[in-house]
Amino acid sequence: MTAGPQQPQHAEEPVVVRDKRRLDPETGTVRTPPGEQPLAGAASQPEQGEQAFTADEPATAEASDELAAARGLAEERLGDLQRLQAEYVNYRRRVDRDRDVARASATTSLLEALLPVLDDVELARQHGDLEGGPFAAISDKLEAALGRFGLSRYGQVGESFDPSVHEALMHSESAEVTETVVTTVLQPGYKVGEKVLRPARVAVTSPA
């Protein structure tokens, strides 16, 4: 049996897909069809380095502004801290000074209140009432205790008269003296350190 004529076989043509979009979906740039010139004013695709610089520039400027603001705030806080420290140091000095003044004032007031008691003790000593009696030990302890607060008694017969520490209640003249001297101590004086708590009340004799 004779086979019929065979049909010629045609090769399959490849499918060609033409992308006619004017914008490149990957780069976003405008495409130029073959045979055409690029459109005037069309933006060229920026280089990779230029894109990185343009993207980083706002971030760098923002970081610089934040750093400057942080430095300004730090300097302001440092100034506040230094001012507070200076105020605290001045406050401590003022408190210490006021405390010392208050302590000295309280001590002076107490010693002044005890001066009449010390005068009675001194009169009793001058009259011999403290010799051999129990009150002698008490008076000695009292004077020693007050001495620890800086109290001291002064005023002796024969010492030069000093108006800054003596109060002359009686005055006489004599050719036997060459300067004004204390001849009688009517009431002893007292000092606290170098401060006169009460001047010595005395009788003095001046050259004739």
Say how far residue 48 (Cα) sits from the centre of its chain. 58
157 Cβ contact list (under 8 Å, min separation 6): 182, 183, 184, 185
Return the minimum-mean-pLDDT range out of 11-20, 80-89, 194-203.
11-20
Quote the pLDDT of residue 36: 56
User: How many whole angstroms separate alpha carbon 161 and alpha carbon 138?
Assistant: 33
Query: Does 41 map to a domain?
Result: no
pLDDT tens digits, 145-171 = 999 999 999 999 999 999 999 999 999
Closest listed residue to residue 177, CA positions, set 192, 157, 153, 155: 157
Query: Does 207 map to a domain?
Result: yes
Residue 204's domain comprises 151-208
The count of structural domains within the chain is 1
CATH code, domain carrying 166: 2.30.22.10
Query: Does 160 map to a domain?
Result: yes
Claim: this prediction has a pTM higher than 0.75? no
Quote the pLDDT of residue 65: 80
Ordered strands of the 189-192 beta sheet: 151-154, 189-192, 195-198
Segment 167-180 mean pLDDT? 92
Query: Does 161 map to a domain?
Result: yes
Query: Does 164 map to a domain?
Result: yes
Query: Does 190 map to a domain?
Result: yes
pLDDT tens digits, 103-147 = 888 989 999 999 999 999 988 888 888 887 788 888 889 999 999
Query: Does 11 map to a domain?
Result: no
| Count of beta carbons in the 10 Å neighbourhood of residue 182 | 21
Return the minimum-mean-pLDDT range out of 17-26, 96-105, 168-177.
17-26
Total residues belonging to the chain: 208
On whether the CB atoms of residues 207 and 175 are closer than 8 A, the answer is: yes
Query: Does 123 map to a domain?
Result: no
pLDDT tens digits, 31-57 = 666 655 555 544 444 454 444 445 456
